[in-house]
Amino acid sequence: MPDQYTSIVWEIRMPRAILGALVGGALAISGAAFQGIFRNPLVSSGILGVSSGAGFGAALAILLFNSTSYTYVFAFFFGGLAVLASYLIGRVYSSTTPAIMLVLGGVIVSSVFSALISFAKYVADPYNQLPTIVYWLMGSLATARYHDIAVGGIPMAVGISGLIAIRWRVNVLSMGDKEARSLGIDTVVNKGIIIACATLATAGAVCVSGIIGWVGLVMPHIGRMLVGNDNKVLIPASLSLGACFLIFVDNLGRLITGSEIPLGILTALVGGPFFVYLLKKTKGGGW
Amino acid sequence: MTERECNSIKIMKKVLALRALIFVLLIIVSIIAAGCSDGYQSAFRPPVGARKAEMITVRDYAGRIVEVPVKVERIGCLYAFCGHVVAMLGKGENIVAVVEGLKRDKLLTQMLPNIKEAAAPYTGGAVNLEELIKADPDVVFIRGETARNKGEMEKLAKSGIPYLVVDYRNIEEQQYAIGLIGQVIGARTKAQRYNEYYQRCIERVQKDLKAVPANKRVRVYHSVNEATRTDARDTLPADWMQVAGANNVSVNQDLKLIGDKYFASLEQIILWDPAVILVNESGVADYILNSRQWSSLSAVKNRKVYQMPNGISRWGHPGSLETPMAILWTAKTLYPNLFSGLDMVSETKSFYKEFYNYDLPEELVRQILSGKGMRVSKESTR
């Protein structure tokens, strides 16, 4: 029997915990960075379409190859493509990529890719492909292997380190384009770098674990209540909050029933009340 | 008003009249064209009752009492299992509509090339009514899941084609389904013969298994198509595996249901630690044997991971008609000493000869028993 326990802990729970920490951290840190540069508390890591793009990529890979072996590559590629499209739409209006145009571009691209996901579901073989697609989109860490950490971990680690390194510029950018420029910051380049890092991190997360909502939106807010508005502190705080939160929720999902509740359901169910509790306790804190 | 203005008004009126005429003509032509095309012609056919006087009444899985014509010549099988039954009962040539999955069966399409040409009016979980009407079946078989969708039922009712819900949760219900299909398509005797063979197989293994007490039965994990997909209670595999002497570890456990499929988590499987793993999809056995995550299982350490045979369908699959064969094979695999007299090669040969009238060459029998390469991959049929 001890042999089985060792195997469960090291081969199943360990990669799951590592992946959960990475994914939660990546989603939360990109959410914090986006909320900073877009100066909008309602944006999350998926605002520029990376989640729906990746979702479509995964669905397409399942449709084309009738297996899940290429979902990584496709999800990653289409996630990046979606963000690039949002960015280019943002530039149509003005080459300085104003925040509001980027958000608008993200909304457009997201809805186009959501429609494409629905279409992919519609044409999928209902007995083999459709459940696979739906399952993938629900998001799960249940199948985590060390291999997934190697595949998804690299873009996530790169994106996360990039955001941590550049975090003080998020403070400057969050004052608005004009003010940032007057302080000698090239807003276009810096925004581009931050978007690229956040996209790397989110796409890496989405391509190994599917679409996990809520973490990228709410963790930065919880961080803000705890440590205040300064992105120099807030960004690393979001990273660790997201990591802890996802490990916690994943454990909960695994323990409540033997059959495991999908992550997306629990992140919202657990995160929501916790958010309200913190709001009451800190009266908004550093907002 | 000048003369010129007057003239131009006249011309305009003429042009307008001409346009109106062309428009009306176009509408008439398109109505006629639509009425004449194949797809719509049969929609105007008289109700089935008026077309054929002789009807019989049957009761389907959903408990509906349905009138079907005595003489059924065109059959729609919107459930792969029904296609296998119809083919087995010797009416495979009468199949005019199928589900896409049936076209991928190597053995079945080899025996019945017409299946490749049959309509496939069932995509995205919904019946395509126009395609179905175009195929003009006398009766349609649908699965329980389709029947649970009210919209689909209403749609089918509108078509005027009698439809029967065919499904099952255990051996008894599967036998009833086979009997029902036999009765409807005019192959009652053969269906009876098949069910008798089915029953004989059950009795045969049950007799010898009496020697094995319940607590000595081999603990088995059954992987269905995917490594972690398995059987829940109240399913055909739960029933037949119990008959074959297996103590199915996943039955009565808390499983994750996605669509109509049940999944176990790897942690559950490791804790169940089955002595034997039966796998019905080729490739999965290798995956399980070589995966680090599965390596702590006793079945993996003792190399007791077996690929199940794969004939017209995967033997023992929830939707498989080769259940009696799966029972024999599993009993022999789990208790080789008890069933040393059971020759699976000759048993397989006589099964397909008797029920499918198909003389299997020795080589194909071995291929079926090895479970490898019997299904055409999805890409090659597109």
Whether B361 maps to a domain, the answer reads: yes
Of residues A172 and A132, the one with the higher pLDDT is A172
CA distance, residue A245 to nearest chain B CA (Å): 22
- Check A259 against B293: CB less than 8 A apart: no
Please, what sign has the CA dihedral across residues B347, B352, B353, B359? negative
Report whether A68 contacts A147 (CB < 8 A): no
Q: According to the model, what pLDDT value does residue B11 have?
A: 67
- Check A130 against B125: CB less than 8 A apart: yes
Q: Are residues B125 and B169 in the same domain?
A: yes
Closest chain A residue to B100, measured at CA: A125
Report whether A271 contacts A278 (CB < 8 A): no
CA distance, residue A114 to nearest chain B CA (Å): 17
- Average pLDDT score, chain A: 86
Instruction: From chain A, pick out residues whose CB is under 8 angstroms from the CB of B271.
Output: 4, 8
Q: Are residues B61 and B169 in the same domain?
A: yes
Q: Are residues B178 and B229 in the same domain?
A: no
B125 near A CB under 8 A: yes
Residue from B265, B282, B284, B288 whose CB has the most chain A CBs within 10 Å, to mutate: B265
Whether B196 maps to a domain, the answer reads: no
- Check B295 against A7: CB less than 8 A apart: yes
The one-letter code for the residue type at B311 is G
Report whether B170 contacts B239 (CB < 8 A): yes
- Check A259 against B265: CB less than 8 A apart: yes
Q: Are residues B222 and B346 in the same domain?
A: yes
- B residues 234-253 lying closer than 8 A (beta carbon) to A: 253
Q: Are residues B139 and B78 in the same domain?
A: yes
Whether B127 maps to a domain, the answer reads: yes
Whether B274 maps to a domain, the answer reads: yes
Q: Are residues B155 and B252 in the same domain?
A: no
Report whether B262 contacts B230 (CB < 8 A): yes
Whether B12 maps to a domain, the answer reads: no
Percentage above 70 pLDDT, chain A: 95
All domains of chain A, ordered by start, with CATH?
2-282 (1.10.3470.10)
| DSSP-H helix ranges across chain B | 3-36, 38-41, 48-51, 80-88, 106-111, 114-117, 129-135, 144-148, 150-159, 171-184, 188-209, 236-243, 266-272, 284-290, 298-301, 323-334, 344-356, 362-370, 378-381
Residue where a domain stops, chosen among B186, B220, B239? B186
Whether B86 maps to a domain, the answer reads: yes
Cα end-to-end distance, chain A, whole Å: 52
B67 near A CB under 8 A: no
pLDDT in tens, B287-331: 899 988 898 899 999 999 999 998 878 899 998 889 999 999 999
Q: Are residues B225 and B364 in the same domain?
A: yes
Q: Are residues B259 and B332 in the same domain?
A: yes
Nearest to A260 among B256, B295, B377 (CB): B256
The domain in which residue B369 lies consists of 212-381
Report whether B51 contacts B45 (CB < 8 A): yes
User: What is residue A8's DSSP assignment?
Assistant: I
Q: Are residues B256 and B337 in the same domain?
A: yes
Instruction: From chain B, pick out residues whose CB is under 8 angstroms from the CB of A260.
Output: 256, 265
For chain B, percent helix, then strand, then coil, each to nearest 5?
A: 50, 15, 35
Section A186-207 average pLDDT: 91
Q: Are strands B139-143 and B163-166 parallel, antiparallel or unpaired?
A: parallel
Residue where a domain stops, chosen among B169, B186, B203? B186
For chain B, which ranges sit under pLDDT 70? 1-12, 15-16, 28-53, 124-125, 373-382
How many whole angstroms from its chain centre is CA A21? Answer: 12
B63, B312, A127, B83: CA torsion to nearest 10: -40
Closest chain A residue to B258, measured at CA: A131
Q: What is the CATH number of the domain that holds B119?
A: 3.40.50.1980
Q: According to the model, what pLDDT value does residue B351 have?
A: 93
Whether B9 maps to a domain, the answer reads: no
Q: Are residues B265 and B342 in the same domain?
A: yes
Phi-psi region of B243 (alpha: psi -120 to 50; beta: other; left: phi over 0): alpha
Estimate the crossing angle of helix A187-209 against helix A71-93, to 10 degrees.
150
Closest chain B residue to A1, measured at CA: B271
Nearest to A12 among B101, B256, B293 (CB): B293
pLDDT in tens, A65-99: 877 678 888 999 999 999 999 989 888 877 777 77
Q: Find, among A60, A71, A78, the residue nearest to A123 by Cα.
A: A60
Whether B10 maps to a domain, the answer reads: no
**Range name among A58-62, A145-149, A229-233, B65-69 with the lowest pLDDT average:** A145-149
DSSP A65-126: HSSSTTHHHHHHHHHHHHHHHHHHHHHHH-TT--HHHHHHHHHHHHHHHHHHHHHHHHHS-T
CA distance, residue B239 to nearest chain A CA (Å): 22
Domain count of the fold of chain B: 2
Residues B22, A273: Cα–Cα separation, whole Å: 67
Q: Are residues B154 and B216 in the same domain?
A: no
- Check B125 against A126: CB less than 8 A apart: yes
Within 13 Å and on the Cβ side, how many CA atoms surround B169?
Answer: 8
Residues B8, A86: Cα–Cα separation, whole Å: 54
Q: Are residues B182 and B260 in the same domain?
A: no
